[in-house]
Structure 1
Amino acid sequence: MPEGPSILLMKEVLQPFAGARITNARGNAKIDMGVLKGKKLIEIKTFGKQTFLVLDTVSVRIHLLMFGSYSVNEQTKPDKSLRLALFFKTGAMYFYTCAIRLVENAFLETIDWKADVLGSDWDAGHARKKLKQLPDMMVCDALLEQDVFSGVGNIIKNEVLFRIGVQPESLVGSLPSTKLNAVITEARNYSFEFLEWKRAFVLKQHWLVHTKRICPKCGAQLVKKYTGKTKRRSFYCTTDQRLYN
């Protein structure tokens, strides 16, 4: 599943279409394509793993889910995978195997923009208050809570927890204040580093534990385990990461 930094990079690729009008729309998404034709793309907004194409009267919400993708100016996948294609005088954007729906522009006003780890409105104190309300949740699940850390995915989760020396099955309520603060700080810091590494096509070169077998600090065998309620893959070192429970 694409994480927040990848979605921000998609926004950069789509940005040249901002201000242009849609000349046609097609695809197998269950929306009224006719509503889109002739509408102006006012701006492109991202919130974590979600993208909003803000038009003059309505917005298109795009979520790439687990296997979604996109292309610009050329359709690269068959029609059966094409959820939405938007055409402009200068080119086109295509979205595949993803969730598409139309939302009223007023919906954007209900979004908690303070939760976006890559957003300009990010508020660390806001995240801390939310985490304080989840004392019995494992930290591996808390980092994937999009209401708290919008944009954080499994890669960021694993790398952040290794950086701060915390095992994924630690309970939020058992973390010392310094570690709780570290979770919040590093979730944002690593997301920006992820963004730059992804832009430079060197992201995997910087992974310390995600999909790895050996701890880069002590040389011990890493644990690979499906943890928490989400049952997502966790990679961690029982020597260099402490369990707080």
Structure 2
Amino acid sequence: MPEGPPVVLMKEDLQKFAGEKVIEVKGSSITETSEIKGHILREVKTFGKQTFLIFDKANIRIHLLMFGSYSLTENKAQAHTLKLGLEFKSGRMYFYTCNVKLVDPEFLSGLDWEADVMSDAWDPEKAKKKLKDRPKMMACDALMDQDIFAGVGNIIKNEALFRVGIHPETLVGHLPPSKLKAMIDEARTYSFDFKKWKKDNVLKKNFQVYHEKKCPKCGEEILKKETGTTKRTSFFCKNDQKLY
């Protein structure tokens, strides 16, 4: 599933169509979205792993799910998986193998924009309050909770926890205040590093623990384990990540 940084990069690619009128609509979601033909795309917004195409009378939510993708050129080999294609005067956008649906303005206004780790509205103090209300939650689950850290996925979770030296199975309530703050701050910091590396096509070269074999600090084997209530895979070093 794409994490927040690639979704923000997608937004930056699509933003150039803001202010343009939709000339044609195609794809298997056409029944639900056909009403936007002839309407002007006002804005492209993101929240965590979701993208929103904002029109005057309709808003389209796009979630790439596990294997979704987008393109500014038509991929005829994937025509059977096309969920939505929009044509504008200056170009086109295509979304494949994803979830596309219309959402009303109330849905957008109901989102906690301060929980998006890549948003200018991000509020770390609000994240800290939510974490303190969940003292028995493991750090690995906390970072993946989209109500607290919208946009954080398994890569960010693993790499951020390694950077701050926290074992993924540590309970949030056991973290010293300085470590709790460090985890919150690193969720955002690593997200922006992720975005830069993804854009430069060097993301995998910068992984320290995610699908790695040896710890870059001590040289010991990186452990791989399903952790937390979500049973998502964690990669960690037992020497350099403390279980509090």
What is the TM-score when the length of structure 1 is the normalising length? 0.96
**Equivalent residue for 2:200?**
200
Cα deviation for residue 78 of structure 1 reads 2.5
Give SS of 1:41's match. Answer: coil
Equivalent-residue separation in structure 2 for 1:22 and 1:41 (angstroms): 7
Equivalent-residue separation in structure 1 for 2:77 and 2:186 (angstroms): 37
Cα deviation for residue 67 of structure 1 reads 0.4
Equivalent-residue separation in structure 1 for 2:74 and 2:30 (angstroms): 22
Equivalent-residue separation in structure 2 for 1:156 and 1:78 (angstroms): 29
Cα deviation for residue 238 of structure 1 reads 0.6
Cα 1:110/1:31, change in 2 over 3 Å: farther
For 1:136-215, what aligned pairs fall within 5 Å after superposition?
Answer: 136-215=136-215
Give SS of 1:143's match. Answer: helix
Give SS of 2:42's match. Answer: strand
Give SS of 2:238's match. Answer: coil
Cα deviation for residue 28 of structure 1 reads 1.2
Equivalent-residue separation in structure 2 for 1:32 and 1:236 (angstroms): 44
Is 1:21–1:39's contact at 8 Å kept on the other side of the alignment?
yes
Q: CA-to-partner distance for each residue in 1:27-65, whole Å, 9 max, x for gaps?
A: 113752321111110000001100000011111000001
Give SS of 1:15's match. Answer: helix
Cα RMSD between the aligned structures? 1.2
Q: What is the identity, as a one-letter code, of the residue corresponding to 1:24?
A: E
With 27-36 and 76-85 compared, the bigger mean Cα shift is at 27-36
**Equivalent residue for 2:82?**
82
Equivalent-residue separation in structure 2 for 1:208 and 1:162 (angstroms): 8
Give SS of 2:61's match. Answer: strand
Aligned residues: 244
Q: What is the identity, as a one-letter code, of the residue corresponding to 2:16?
A: P
Cα deviation for residue 219 of structure 1 reads 0.6
Equivalent-residue separation in structure 2 for 1:77 and 1:17 (angstroms): 25
What is the TM-score when the length of structure 2 is the normalising length? 0.97
Work out the percentage of aligned pairs sharing the same amino acid: 55
Q: CA-to-partner distance for each residue in 1:114-133, whole Å, 9 max, x for gaps?
A: 00100000000010011111
Equivalent-residue separation in structure 2 for 1:61 and 1:232 (angstroms): 25
Q: CA-to-partner distance for each residue in 1:169-208, whole Å, 9 max, x for gaps?
A: 1111111111111110000011111111111111111111
Equivalent-residue separation in structure 2 for 1:66 and 1:112 (angstroms): 23
Name stretches of at least 5 consecutive residues in structure 1 with no aligned partner: none
Give SS of 1:183's match. Answer: helix
Is 2:50–2:63's contact at 8 Å kept on the other side of the alignment?
yes
Cα 1:228/1:76, change in 2 over 3 Å: farther
For 1:211-226, what aligned pairs fall within 5 Å after superposition?
Answer: 211-226=211-226
Stretches of 4+ aligned residues off by more than 6 angstroms: none
Is 1:30–1:101's contact at 8 Å kept on the other side of the alignment?
no
Name stretches of at least 5 consecutive residues in structure 2 with no aligned partner: none
Equivalent-residue separation in structure 2 for 1:200 and 1:14 (angstroms): 18
Q: What is the identity, as a one-letter code, of the residue corresponding to 1:20?
A: E
Equivalent-residue separation in structure 2 for 1:76 and 1:158 (angstroms): 36
Q: What is the identity, as a one-letter code, of the residue corresponding to 1:47?
A: F
Q: What is the identity, as a one-letter code, of the residue corresponding to 1:55?
A: F
Q: What is the identity, as a one-letter code, of the residue corresponding to 1:130?
A: K
Q: CA-to-partner distance for each residue in 1:52-97, whole Å, 9 max, x for gaps?
A: 0001111100000110001003235423211111111222110011
Is 1:138–1:168's contact at 8 Å kept on the other side of the alignment?
yes
With 184-193 and 74-83 compared, the bigger mean Cα shift is at 74-83
**Equivalent residue for 1:14?**
14
For 1:48-67, what aligned pairs fall within 5 Å after superposition?
Answer: 48-67=48-67
